[in-house]
A and B are shown apart, each in its own frame.
Chain A
Amino acid sequence: MVFGLMYALALAQAPAGDPIDFDRDVLPILSDHCVQCHGPDAAARKADLRLDVRDDVLFVAEPGAAADSALYQRISHADPARRMPPADFPRQLTPAKIEALRRWIDEGVAWESHWAFTAPTRAAAPVREDDTWSRDALDVLVLGRLAEEGLAPSPPADRATWLRRVTFDLTGLPPDVAALDAYLADDSAEADARVVDRLLASPRRAEHRTREWLDLARYADTNGFQNDFGRDQWPWRDWVLRAFASNLPYDEFIVQQVAGDLLPGAARDALIATGFNRNHRSVTEGGSIDEEWRVEKVADRAETTATAFLGLTLGCARCHDHKFDPLTQRDYYAFYAFFDQVDEQGFYNEARGNVPPLIEVPTPAQEARLAALDASIAAREDELVALAATAPQRFGDWCGESQHPQRLAGEWGRLLLEYAGERREGAPRIELDGDAAHHVNLGQGVSFEQDVPFTVSMWLRPDSNGAVYSRMDDTDRYRGTDLILLGDMRPAVHLIHEWTANAIKVVGVDPLDKGRWQHVAVTYDGSRKASGVKLYVDCVERAVKVEVDTLDGTLATEEPLRIGLRRYAGALAGALHDFRVDALALDVDELLNLARRRPRAEAAALCLTRYFAGSENPEPAELERLAAGALPFFTPFDQATLDARSALADLRRERERLAREGIATVMVMRDRAEPRETRLLDRGQYDRPKGEPLQPDVPAALGGLTADAPRNRLGLARWLVDPANPLVARVAANRVWASFFGAGLVTTPEDFGVRGARPTHRAVLDHLAVSLVDSGWDLQALERRIALSATYRQSSHAAPALRERDPENHLLARGPRHRLDAETVRDQALFAAGLLVERIGGPSVKPYQPAGLWEELAGGAGQGPYVQSAGDDLYRRSLYTYRKRTVPHPTLTTFDAPGFELCVARRARTNTPLQALALWNDPTYAEAARHLAARMWAAPRSAGAGEGVDADDTRLAFGARVVLSRELRAEELRVLRASLDAYRASFGADPAAAAAHLGIGASAGQAAPDGATPTEWAAYSAVAATLLNLDEALTER
């Protein structure tokens, strides 16, 4: 009966005699049974009839005359073929629901909008004269509802129970013994408020609230999907910590996360906040289709924003109009359009770590060092500009010093490398057989730089696709340069700092010919632009397609220059000769010379005469003209330029090293310069856009954006926090409520729509929502009043009759009771043990985890094995436990933590045997029990006992105070003493077992507590474990 009754409370029909309430009694029936075919989804609509719009309803429902109304006739029709819903519809009407609809029609077809889509108002709450119970306006409302139900509130919980409850709910940790003693000793009227204020100000509260927010923000430390490489979003998580610690007003909390980058003069913190919308998963699996996965990211952002702030199931309108709520597919894509503008790719091929857009998040010391480096770099760059301006002068001098063009000719071209291969029997060529083991390694002698011109040229006869040459580190974001032949033999040139965020890629339009000798050259002018890369085949410049043009960073790598191979591009089969690298961007004439293999001196002479023809003693103006043309040839000889470049390169390298090794980045939102057109996607499919481009907008049923609002995320953010928004404050207040009561007033926090649960106490929810806005969105103020309310203070004990009547505590006739969350279960154990290391923020950590879990599934892909943290990081709060999406930490999952894949507004609370196994045998808990035992052993005699109380009693009592925040009852003490004696006997007879039990965890070497034998300590550890496994210890009550 219990569940039927509970359901009756939720869905229930009005008792006979009470008037029908449309929102409570009728709308859920229409939603569940009718509007799937007679509702907002135009495509699915039957008979052109809507039962979600009153005007339509009046066609089929005559107020006051159910018997004459088509609606009633059809739902009660004797002929199954005529009856609605149709027989094959899975949700048939019950007689009770048919009766409710009949009464609704007979009582006049009352109609109102869905409760959550109209703005909340603060209900007047008449205080009853005899109300000595209420402490807050919300209590008055709760009490009023209880009186209607003929119920009275439960008596207050005892003080220690309240303290434990409020400490868990505000901080995610239990009270320590000192806090318990201080509170119990404080009998002033302000004692409770003092506790709450102390807890609100504690950094532990910020950690606990952050942990809750991460579920909605689907925060994780890896990308998810196939490769599941690591990422660094923890700077965003630390922003959330700061936001909660500083009690950032909730409207600011929203605006910064949704649109911090679009705020005028956005500070770095506001940019970091936008990482909220980059916490989604991202695909790096080779072979993926870019647009398909870009669309998924945009959809995730739109749906997460709708769920987290609006409590809307917007995702239901992705493929078709929403079946139940007034959200059309067009609304979906207009909302989606806000998030469609990000300057990003859909997938980053095998990319590790953060992908753009991102920003650096240096520490203050790093920031100072960076500023100094940036200043030096700027100075060197200025110097280079100045040197360029004076280059003609030095060129003139240089020409003057050069007596003989022939001597110059020996130097020109700055030949860096010439490699013909092994000269076998008259064949000066390099033969490549396509086997990676047989490529040619030319070492590290020649380096390539982003701002230094070069030419690589050769005669080439390709027999397959693969790499022609490379100096690239495929495992370091492909840093370096190469020339490869794609599968279809088109040549592609990369210059990469970080693929693809910072790189050049150009691809020849025409393929090379297999099996034919061709002269191939790549020239680069050092401009960092794709336009500076030219591709010549047979000394004719070839058309190229620019695919990436974002280079701004060094190409330097430790990988050698290789002919015929690049690690992930495959080996080339074929032959080549006259492979050479020049420190110039050669032009066609010079390339022709190379191709024709003219003697170098001859070529040089040809070149120089082009610039000095007939100018033995040129006039200054003539010299200037010539110099302008010849400067590119001069630069490699100009010592001053070379020196400045080398100094600049050193500085850049240092900055690079600092950034790579030390400075964290975080992925953030940044929109493209060129707006992207968003269209509705037919059936939600990425490759089926249709219709006109859509302006970003909010759902029409919620009013749409005002005409003057910016059509971007900032406009969206401002709309969200507009006090007129009916949903945002309610959703927030509901979530805060759930932090205390274990469930929201709306028990479906993810769905405030028509099919979501109705609020158990709409007046309370609306009152809190309105006051949240009125308080300047002060979350702490809201938490404070709930924590100090009489409703929250009630005992959670439910007499059988009350439990039978209201198993889910929807009426709030008692206090909250539920199992602790996954993180809290572990944190409590560490805290009770005195092991918890309370360091705030920073990269995530890796506590104990059974060996092999990552390797078994990922086969070393991603990040290889799980490398357990050492020292303090084993004992940090579970908020900081590394979140690998494809293999979440097993004990967190076992205790119902979400998988961090998608926005989750509510966790399940299950009770399974795997939880028991984890609590018994995860070293976390065995180690914690040993430390708790040591604390118990050292318990001060005074703890709750006078002279003559024996040591065991004192120690057991202390353990109970640590774990349960209360004194033991005599009967409990007897059980624990008997248990202790049994363990003493058992471990005493088996010293090896005692030693083994004391050897668990990284802290196994800890000194034994004073005077404790191994048997004693092991016995106490076993009893401590029992305390930690008590249902009471795992339950907030």
Chain B
Amino acid sequence: MSGTHDQSTLNGGAWDPLAAAQRFNRRAVLRGGGVGLGALALGALQRDARAGAPQAPGAQQLADAALGPHFAPKAKRVVYLFQSGAPSQFETWDPKPGLVDHFGVELPASVRMGQRLTTMTSGQTSFPVAPSKFGATARGANGTLVGDLLPYTGALVDRMCVVRSMVTDAINHDPAITFAQTGSQLAGRPSMGAWLSYGLGSMNRDLPTFVVMVSSSSSKQPLYDRLWGSGFLPTQHQGVKLRSAADPVLYLADAPGIDRGRRRQMLDDLARLNALQPDADPETTTRIEQYELAFRMQAAVPELTDVSGEPAHVLERYGADVQRPGSFARNCLLARRLLERDVRFVQLYHMGWDHHGNLPNDLTKCALDTDQAAAALVQDLEERGLLEDTIVVWGGEFGRTVYSQGQLTQETYGRDHHPRCYSIWLAGGGLKAGLVHGETDDFSYNVVRDPVSTHDLHATLLHLSGFGHQRLTNRFQGRDFRLTDVHGEVVRALLS
């Protein structure tokens, strides 16, 4: 068939991913989609269609259209638990118990070194140190210090890599989240999930390749569709948002008065009429395939989101919140179900971590909303044998300041944005377990060992997925773009 990689014409048979990317790009952009051409005779489809059990090999087609990895991947799937708003590292993964002795003391200028602040606190003349109000306990074999607000995920440190030395370039939410998800502070680039869809294609014949779910605790910073957009990649690579509303995927439910039989009737009619076209072309075939995929999604998505068959002990593991559609816990459970069905990239967002003031109360709530379910997801994946080739990532867009924003009292405090260090954890396929990577100074203000940039994290995730981050490119407006822009190094220390 014509849609497979055709290498011989240009370079005598050597596998040239870049040329393939360019061919793919031209084909996808100019031709209308990365779906293989002419693969399927209309007749075959019609036979299936008439039987009412269409077997169009849509997934295979999508996979064929992808570039394929550069080398054997360690992980086939990724689930990214994005904690939007930026969790404080002090109360979570980078506790600094010694700060208790510095309560209210001015942050030494030698630590701050005049680095830029947001204009919310740049007017502040006093920067009193605010120790975490909460305890921290040594967990796991290595005695990794974890904030006591995270008892469930804290119990799993032996299965994780905790990275305490993340740094980012951005200081406000919009550019920082956009950076974390697309590798650029300015919108317009493809998101990580879109890159993986573009590079790896689908493993699933009736669900999207890249699925997004959103939840929140109280106050929230907004999110944007573009965070899971495909940028300049074809839109088929954009994330599909799975909503807690009646229609989990937009327009999934058939219009009033249309049942499955009537929808089937329409698809069969379309297939018959398209087949009568004297000048049908491959694009016509592709459209029929996409219609059939949509028809299958209409069955597959409700089956996916129906958790009534989950055993009680599994539901309990995710916590009571799992009963509430749209909660982080429910989304974690759905993430597991998606990954089981070989959806390539599952992106969760939990909003509510932006604690400029009243941090002790609000952060406790966020932790309660997310800790148990995140741990349950890891355990569930492990028990099902999926963790070995699935990557789980937990983290936000930057860290928080050691000093209090606004008034510091014994009871309460707030923390401003802090790009110079923050903590995340990863677990699963190809990653070392029980590792703490990187270190910050006593004030968790600057990284003192093994800094990891956002680009480095992206490079590492691509590496685990089988890609050289410098080679997964797409040409747009005359330039070959990468997820990692012109930066990034694989963090070898994290690899098992």
Which residues does A use to contact B, with CB under 8 Å? 1-8, 10, 90-92, 94-96, 224-228, 281, 283, 285-290, 296, 307, 313, 315-316, 323-325, 464, 486-489, 511, 743, 747-748, 750-751, 753, 755-756, 795-798, 803, 807-808, 817-819, 850-852, 856-859, 861-862, 885-888, 890-891, 893-894, 896, 899, 901-902, 905-906, 908-918, 920-923, 926, 969, 971-972, 975-976, 979, 982-983, 986-987, 993-1000, 1018, 1022, 1025-1026, 1029-1032, 1034-1035, 1037
Q: Is B188 an interface residue (CB 8 A)?
A: yes
Interface of A is mostly: loop
CB distance from A420 to the nearest CB of B (A): 28
The reply to whether A313 and B9 contact each other, CB–CB distance below 8 Å, is no
The reply to whether B277 and A862 contact each other, CB–CB distance below 8 Å, is no
The reply to whether A887 and B224 contact each other, CB–CB distance below 8 Å, is yes
Q: Mark B463-485, 1 if CB is under 8 A from A, else 0.
A: 00000001101010111000000
Q: Is B410 an interface residue (CB 8 A)?
A: no
Q: Is B16 an interface residue (CB 8 A)?
A: yes
* Residue in A288, A850, A914, A1032 whose Cβ sees the most chain B Cβ within 10 Å: A914
The reply to whether B116 and A313 contact each other, CB–CB distance below 8 Å, is no
The reply to whether B23 and A857 contact each other, CB–CB distance below 8 Å, is no
Separation of A283 and B9 alpha carbons in the complex (Å): 48
Separation of A936 and B174 alpha carbons in the complex (Å): 50
Q: Is B293 an interface residue (CB 8 A)?
A: yes
The reply to whether A911 and B257 contact each other, CB–CB distance below 8 Å, is no
Nearest residue in B to A798 (C-beta to C-beta)? B281
Q: Which of A743, A753, A901 contacts B188 (CB 8 A)?
A: A901
Q: Mark B1-44, 1 if CB is under 8 A from A, else 0.
A: 01000101111101010110011001111111111010000000
Are A983 and B262 also in contact (CB < 8 A) when A857-B222, A914-B294 are? yes
The reply to whether A287 and B27 contact each other, CB–CB distance below 8 Å, is no
Nearest residue in B to A1029 (C-beta to C-beta)? B270
The reply to whether B297 and A917 contact each other, CB–CB distance below 8 Å, is yes
Chain B residues lying within 8 Å of A920, measured Cβ to Cβ, are 251, 254-255, 258, 263, 266, 294
Q: Is B493 an interface residue (CB 8 A)?
A: no
Q: Is B361 an interface residue (CB 8 A)?
A: no
The reply to whether A226 and B256 contact each other, CB–CB distance below 8 Å, is no
Stretch of B141-149, B234-242, B303-311 contacting A (4+ beta carbons < 8 Å)? B234-242
Chain A residues lying within 8 Å of B51, measured Cβ to Cβ, are none
The reply to whether B263 and A228 contact each other, CB–CB distance below 8 Å, is no
Could you tell me which residues of chain B, from 443 to 473, have a CB within 8 Å of some CB in chain A? 470-471, 473
Nearest residue in B to A999 (C-beta to C-beta)? B256
Separation of A179 and B294 alpha carbons in the complex (Å): 36
CB distance from A20 to the nearest CB of B (A): 18
The reply to whether B9 and A1 contact each other, CB–CB distance below 8 Å, is yes
Nearest residue in B to A296 (C-beta to C-beta)? B186
Separation of A307 and B476 alpha carbons in the complex (Å): 12
Are A918 and B251 also in contact (CB < 8 A) when A852-B245, A886-B224, A975-B273 are? yes
The reply to whether B265 and A1000 contact each other, CB–CB distance below 8 Å, is no
The reply to whether B9 and A913 contact each other, CB–CB distance below 8 Å, is no
Chain A residues lying within 8 Å of B265, measured Cβ to Cβ, are 979, 982-983, 986, 1022
Chain A residues lying within 8 Å of B270, measured Cβ to Cβ, are 1026, 1029-1031
Chain B residues lying within 8 Å of A95, measured Cβ to Cβ, are 11-12
Chain B residues lying within 8 Å of A796, measured Cβ to Cβ, are 279
The reply to whether B9 and A4 contact each other, CB–CB distance below 8 Å, is yes
A-B contact pairs, 17 of them (CB 8 A): A1-B6, A6-B26, A90-B470, A94-B14, A228-B222, A287-B118, A313-B479, A856-B243, A893-B238, A902-B188, A908-B29, A914-B240, A921-B258, A922-B251, A975-B269, A976-B269, A999-B257
Separation of A807 and B3 alpha carbons in the complex (Å): 12
The reply to whether A921 and B255 contact each other, CB–CB distance below 8 Å, is yes
Chain A residues lying within 8 Å of B256, measured Cβ to Cβ, are 926, 996-997, 999-1000
Separation of A61 and B278 alpha carbons in the complex (Å): 55
Q: Which of B16, B35, B254 contacts A92 (CB 8 A)?
A: B16
The reply to whether A224 and B187 contact each other, CB–CB distance below 8 Å, is yes
Chain B residues lying within 8 Å of A324, measured Cβ to Cβ, are 478
Separation of A803 and B31 alpha carbons in the complex (Å): 12
Q: Mark B215-255, 1 if CB is under 8 A from A, else 0.
A: 01001111111100100001110101001010101111111
Chain A residues lying within 8 Å of B2, measured Cβ to Cβ, are 1-3
The reply to whether A817 and B257 contact each other, CB–CB distance below 8 Å, is no
The reply to whether B226 and A901 contact each other, CB–CB distance below 8 Å, is yes
Nearest residue in A to B125 (C-beta to C-beta)? A488
Chain A residues lying within 8 Å of B473, measured Cβ to Cβ, are 90
Q: Is B114 an interface residue (CB 8 A)?
A: no
Q: Which of A817, A819, A997, A1030 contacts B255 (CB 8 A)?
A: A997
Given contacts A888-B225, A893-B225, 17 further A-B contacts (CB under 8 A): A1-B6, A4-B23, A226-B222, A287-B119, A288-B118, A289-B119, A747-B30, A817-B283, A850-B250, A859-B219, A859-B351, A920-B263, A986-B265, A1000-B256, A1000-B257, A1022-B262, A1026-B269
The reply to whether A886 and B234 contact each other, CB–CB distance below 8 Å, is no
The reply to whether B283 and A3 contact each other, CB–CB distance below 8 Å, is no
Are A857 and B224 also in contact (CB < 8 A) when A6-B26, A920-B263, A975-B273 are? yes
Separation of A850 and B250 alpha carbons in the complex (Å): 7
Nearest residue in B to A907 (C-beta to C-beta)? B29
Separation of A908 and B476 alpha carbons in the complex (Å): 12
Are A1032 and B18 also in contact (CB < 8 A) when A909-B33, A921-B251, A997-B255 are? no
* Residue in A818, A859, A972, A976 whose Cβ sees the most chain B Cβ within 10 Å: A859
Q: Is B121 an interface residue (CB 8 A)?
A: yes
The reply to whether B250 and A912 contact each other, CB–CB distance below 8 Å, is no
Q: Which of A8, A96, A861, A1022 contacts B266 (CB 8 A)?
A: A1022
The reply to whether B11 and A1031 contact each other, CB–CB distance below 8 Å, is no
Stretch of B105-113, B284-292, B331-339, B423-431 contacting A (4+ beta carbons < 8 Å)? B284-292
Could you tell me which residues of chain B, from 38 to 73, have a CB within 8 Å of some CB in chain A? none
Q: Which of B29, B251, B294 contacts A850 (CB 8 A)?
A: B251
Q: Is B407 an interface residue (CB 8 A)?
A: yes
Are A7 and B22 also in contact (CB < 8 A) when A914-B250, A1034-B287 are? yes
The reply to whether B16 and A285 contact each other, CB–CB distance below 8 Å, is no
The reply to whether B223 and A857 contact each other, CB–CB distance below 8 Å, is yes
Q: Is B272 an interface residue (CB 8 A)?
A: yes
Chain B residues lying within 8 Å of A921, measured Cβ to Cβ, are 251-255, 258
Separation of A316 and B287 alpha carbons in the complex (Å): 37
CB distance from A800 to the nearest CB of B (A): 9
The reply to whether A94 and B12 contact each other, CB–CB distance below 8 Å, is yes
The reply to whether B174 and A226 contact each other, CB–CB distance below 8 Å, is yes
Chain A residues lying within 8 Å of B18, measured Cβ to Cβ, are 90-91
Q: Is B494 an interface residue (CB 8 A)?
A: no
Separation of A899 and B125 alpha carbons in the complex (Å): 41
Q: Is B315 an interface residue (CB 8 A)?
A: no
Separation of A861 and B276 alpha carbons in the complex (Å): 51
The reply to whether B222 and A4 contact each other, CB–CB distance below 8 Å, is no
Q: Is B172 an interface residue (CB 8 A)?
A: yes
Separation of A994 and B28 alpha carbons in the complex (Å): 40
Chain A residues lying within 8 Å of B258, measured Cβ to Cβ, are 920-921, 993, 997, 1022
Nearest residue in A to B29 (C-beta to C-beta)? A908
Q: Which of B29, B223, B266, B287 contacts A1031 (CB 8 A)?
A: B287
The reply to whether B10 and A911 contact each other, CB–CB distance below 8 Å, is no
Q: Which of B34, B123, B234, B298 contacts A486 (CB 8 A)?
A: B123
Nearest residue in A to B30 (C-beta to C-beta)? A808
Nearest residue in B to A901 (C-beta to C-beta)? B187
Separation of A661 and B82 alpha carbons in the complex (Å): 42
Separation of A995 and B28 alpha carbons in the complex (Å): 42
Q: Is B274 an interface residue (CB 8 A)?
A: yes
The reply to whether A819 and B32 contact each other, CB–CB distance below 8 Å, is yes
Chain B residues lying within 8 Å of A1035, measured Cβ to Cβ, are 283
Are A94 and B124 also in contact (CB < 8 A) when A914-B240, A1030-B270 are? no
Q: Is B259 an interface residue (CB 8 A)?
A: yes
Chain A residues lying within 8 Å of B478, measured Cβ to Cβ, are 313, 316, 324-325, 748, 750-751, 753, 755-756
CB distance from B122 to the nearest CB of A (A): 9
Nearest residue in A to B230 (C-beta to C-beta)? A908
